[in-house]
């Protein structure tokens, strides 16, 4: 087969799995499989990683490349990437180490700070450690109110709570602890919420900055808001001063490079009143549903979804 035409490659779209984001992942997988077909790929199969026959289908299917459309644990954290490395199968998006570090928010933040990317103040707790009254008061004294409490390694706003008083902290930590072994307690950075998608490998480029508007009925961009129609919550281009807009794009590219991301990433920021973009987290496999932020931004830049998915396969094969 002539691999100079990437559309001749047989593609396994990996989706589903066991995380909280299973259904979202299946939505992403179906959307990506459809887009690849529209881009001219004829050999595309959607595989549910949690299916009993998944491994047999993956290893015997004659696939040239895996398109990873998984989110959360076992999919975005380096686990499925490790399997694909063992199978010597090229795959989309970041590798094992980058995926693992990006998923662990506290480890990623330490890398960002070393690179000069502003981060929110915060601390890490073990999931089984519920702060007593004295410790809760101490955390509030150090970080202020309100606070965000979230799993250190989860996505799509699962397990996140906004804490308005010290007495709410213990329950928030318990809730976040259900999502993993570690919990992040973080100062609430006030300002304009934005997200900056980045695409590419060695020479990545930032896509248009998206301003994220939660709406009057939501305290923050939570799980419910995230999957409502994009036109309700995505403002493009973001309403920022040109210098701030460009700085946010530069910082997103720097975050992408700092962790060694490949194919795509999406960095979430809060822009403070003085124009400083403060990074919250980076996503190495951004959502690929119809309402997702990265496809919306790419479309605004003139890159339709089928073309975007074709590029992801090309970058996987580099």
Q: 256: closest CA among 105, 108, 141?
A: 108
Q: 14: closest CA among 46, 50, 52, 37?
A: 46
C-alpha–C-alpha distance, residues 245 and 275, integer Å: 9
Q: What is the largest CA-CA distance in the chain?
A: 67
From residue 241, alpha-carbon distances to 107, 223, 244, 301 in Å are 31, 29, 5, 19
Q: How far is CA 113 from the centre of its chain?
A: 19
- For the question of residue 239 being annotated catalytic, the response is no
C-alpha–C-alpha distance, residues 125 and 105, integer Å: 12
Q: How many CB atoms lie within 10 A of CB 241?
A: 10
- For the question of residue 287 being annotated catalytic, the response is yes
Candidate list 19, 28, 156, 230, residue with the active-site label: 156
Candidate list 74, 91, 221, 227, residue with the active-site label: 227
List alpha helices for the chain, DSSP H.
Answer: 22-38, 54-60, 79-86, 96-103, 105-114, 133-143, 169-177, 223-226, 242-259, 293-300, 305-317
- For the question of residue 266 being annotated catalytic, the response is yes
Candidate list 281, 292, 297, 310, residue with the active-site label: 281
C-alpha–C-alpha distance, residues 128 and 221, integer Å: 27
Candidate list 20, 21, 76, 186, residue with the active-site label: 21
- For the question of residue 268 being annotated catalytic, the response is yes
Candidate list 76, 193, 268, 296, residue with the active-site label: 268
Residue 74 DSSP one-character state:
T
Residue-by-residue DSSP string for 199-256? EESSS-EE---EEE---TT-SSS-HHHHTS-GGGTEESS-S--HHHHHHHHHHHHHHH
Candidate list 266, 267, 292, 311, residue with the active-site label: 266
- For the question of residue 156 being annotated catalytic, the response is yes
Candidate list 161, 265, 283, 292, residue with the active-site label: 283
Q: 153: closest CA among 222, 186, 108, 105?
A: 105
- For the question of residue 281 being annotated catalytic, the response is yes
Candidate list 159, 262, 287, 292, residue with the active-site label: 287
Which residues carry out catalysis? 21, 156, 227, 266, 268, 281, 283, 287
């Amino acid at each position: 087969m002539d691999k100079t035409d990437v559309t001749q490659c047989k593609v396994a779209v990996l989706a589903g799995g066991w995380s909280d984001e299973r259904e979202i992942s299946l939505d992403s997988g179906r959307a990506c499989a459809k887009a690849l077909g529209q881009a001219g790929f004829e050999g595309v199969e959607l595989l549910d990683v949690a299916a009993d026959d998944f491994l047999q289908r993956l290893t015997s299917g004659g696939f040239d490349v895996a398109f990873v459309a998984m989110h959360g644990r076992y999919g975005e954290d380096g686990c499925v990437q490790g399997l694909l490395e063992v199978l010597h199968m090229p795959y989309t998006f970041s590798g094992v180490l980058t995926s693992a570090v990006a998923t662990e928010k506290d480890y990623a933040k330490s890398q960002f700070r070393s690179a000069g990317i502003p981060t929110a103040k915060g601390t890490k707790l073990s999931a089984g450690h519920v702060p007593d009254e004295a410790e809760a008061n101490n955390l509030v004294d150090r970080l202020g109110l309100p606070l965000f409490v979230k799993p250190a390694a989860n996505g799509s706003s699962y397990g996140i709570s906004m804490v308005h008083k010290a007495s709410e902290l213990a329950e928030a930590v318990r809730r976040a602890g259900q999502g993993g072994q570690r919990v992040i307690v973080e100062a609430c950075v006030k300002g304009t919420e934005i997200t900056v998608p980045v695409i590419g490998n060695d020479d990545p480029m930032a896509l248009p900055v998206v301003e994220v508007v939660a709406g009057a009925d939501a305290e923050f961009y939570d799980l419910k808001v995230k999957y409502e129609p994009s036109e309700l919550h995505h403002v493009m281009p973001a309403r920022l001063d040109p210098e701030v807009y460009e700085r946010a794009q530069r910082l997103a590219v720097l975050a992408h490079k700092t962790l060694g991301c490949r194919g795509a990433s999406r960095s979430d920021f809060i822009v403070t009143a003085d124009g400083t973009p403060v990074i919250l987290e980076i996503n190495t496999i951004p959502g690929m549903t119809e309402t997702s932020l990265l496809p919306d931004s790419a479309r605004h830049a003139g890159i339709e979804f089928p073309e975007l998915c074709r590029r992801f396969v090309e970058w996987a094969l580099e």
